[in-house]
Amino acid sequence: MSELQIGLLSIGILLVVAVYLYGFWQQRSYRNKFGSSYKSPHEDALYKSNSSAADALLDEEVTALGRNETQRATIVENTFELLNAETDYVVSIKLKAPLGSDVLAPLWEQRFDFGKSVNAYGQNASTGNWERLIPESLPAYNAFKIGLQLADRSGPVSEIRLMSFHDILHDIGEQLQADIELPSVAEAIKLSKALDEFCAEVDKMIGLNILPGGDRLLFGSEIAQVAERHGLKLQADGAFHLLNEQGLTLFSLANLDNTPFQHHTLTQVRVKGLTLLLDVARVERPANRFDEMAVLARELAMDLRAGLVDDHRVSLGDAAIAQIREQVAAIESRMLAGKIAPGSTQALRLFA
């Protein structure tokens, strides 16, 4: 090796050693300057001690268990929301062996002949959970619960139709050699009549009329614009509806003379006035809803340059509004006392 090569190699080695020593000195200076900030480092969540991880896992399991129990309780509570012994004639069938919903074929074939809603549930043989049944349901079931609604807005169920419902399920139970519970038809008829009378007492529509002054008429297009601005949409029944998150009507705005509005004639139609309606039994907390309705009615009237009046065309002031609210609150209390909560699934079925 030549002297030149040896010299270059020596210089290279010296440079490497110098860089290393400088890096070591810089790192040591950095630790001396900032090291105190890390004397008690926070433990990384990904590197917890075994005991901490076990505790965290246990906490998660307990929380999940509590959450699952809450969900399970809610499911059990809501399982038979379409069946209620106070509003339905409910038949229970316990099978000897798991069977499909097709064994209820005689019922499915005539389910529209009873004049009232028929709802059915089956206990899934695999999961043990109760599920709502339709004719196309595929799982096998250990038991069935089937109900015929006893009343709705058209009146109580007829004894003939209830007896027909009873006989069909009786025959199905016998054919399957199942254990079947059939309530008394006579008692159910009494209950249906009492239920119908109760519903008639609380089935009220509250309306606030919106009338322009003098002989002025309201233009359909103007009504549609104002209604839409307040969230009301024209529906198939010819009224503008304000819907809740579930798509159920809170309030409806109808023509004063009940002539339906139609999309294609809004630009030509002229009306004398409007009625903002609250179907008391079909909304949750109707007294509170009425408060919201009164505010909405005033806003609509202001936008349409009209006034609020009662059915006798007398102006509605704060005192009159408060009096109507008392009536709504009384209906709400009456329903709750009768164990039918306004706006509940049960109420929506009865007041359909």
Q: Which residue has the tokens 């090291």?
A: 35
pLDDT for residue 291 is more than 70: yes
Mean pLDDT, the chain, whole residue set? 84
| Cα separation, 138 vs 125, whole angstroms | 11
Which residue in 168, 165, 269, 254 sits closest to 206, CA to CA?
Answer: 254
The residue among 224 and 78 whose pLDDT is bigger is 224
A 10 A CB-CB count for 345 gives 12
| Cα separation, 188 vs 180, whole angstroms | 17
pLDDT for residue 171 is more than 60: yes
The residue among 200 and 28 whose pLDDT is bigger is 200
> Dmax over Cα atoms in the chain, in whole Å?
123
For residue 311, the model assigns a pLDDT of 85
Domain 88-195 class, CATH top level = alpha beta
Residue 344 is inside which H or E element, if any? none
The whole-number average pLDDT for the span 219-232 is: 96
**Contact, 91 vs 122, CB < 8 A?**
no
pLDDT for residue 132 is more than 60: yes
- Where are the chain's structural domains? 88-195, 203-350
Q: Do domains 88-195 and 203-350 have the same CATH topology?
A: no
CA distances from 15 to 1, 2, 288 (A): 20, 20, 85
| Cα separation, 176 vs 161, whole angstroms | 23
Quote the tokens at residue 221: 């297009």
CA angle 277, 283, 286 (to 5 degrees): 80
pLDDT for residue 88 is more than 70: yes
**Contact, 146 vs 91, CB < 8 A?**
yes
pLDDT for residue 145 is more than 90: yes
For residue 329, the model assigns a pLDDT of 98
The whole-number average pLDDT for the span 272-279 is: 97
For residue 313, the model assigns a pLDDT of 87
Q: What is the pLDDT of residues 235-244, one digit of tens each?
A: 999 999 999 9
The whole-number average pLDDT for the span 34-54 is: 36
**Contact, 286 vs 331, CB < 8 A?**
yes
| Cα separation, 23 vs 219, whole angstroms | 85
Quote the tokens at residue 314: 């007398």
For residue 49, the model assigns a pLDDT of 36
The CB-side HSE value for 165 (13 A sphere, CA atoms) comes to: 31
Q: What is the pLDDT of residues 152-168, one digit of tens each?
A: 999 999 999 999 999 99
156-160, long-range: CB within 8 Å, 24+ apart, which pairs?
156/189, 156/192, 156/193, 156/195, 156/196, 157/89, 157/114, 157/115, 157/116, 157/189, 157/192, 158/115, 159/185, 159/189
Q: Is the pTM of this model over 0.85?
A: no
pLDDT for residue 64 is more than 60: no
For residue 312, the model assigns a pLDDT of 86
Which residue in 253, 269, 352, 263 sits closest to 306, CA to CA?
Answer: 253
Query: For the structural domain made of 203-350, what CATH number should be given?
Result: 3.30.1400.10
Which residue in 229, 251, 100 sits closest to 240, CA to CA?
Answer: 251
Burial class of residue 206, CB neighbours in 10 A (0-12, 13-18, 19+): buried
| Cα separation, 93 vs 211, whole angstroms | 57
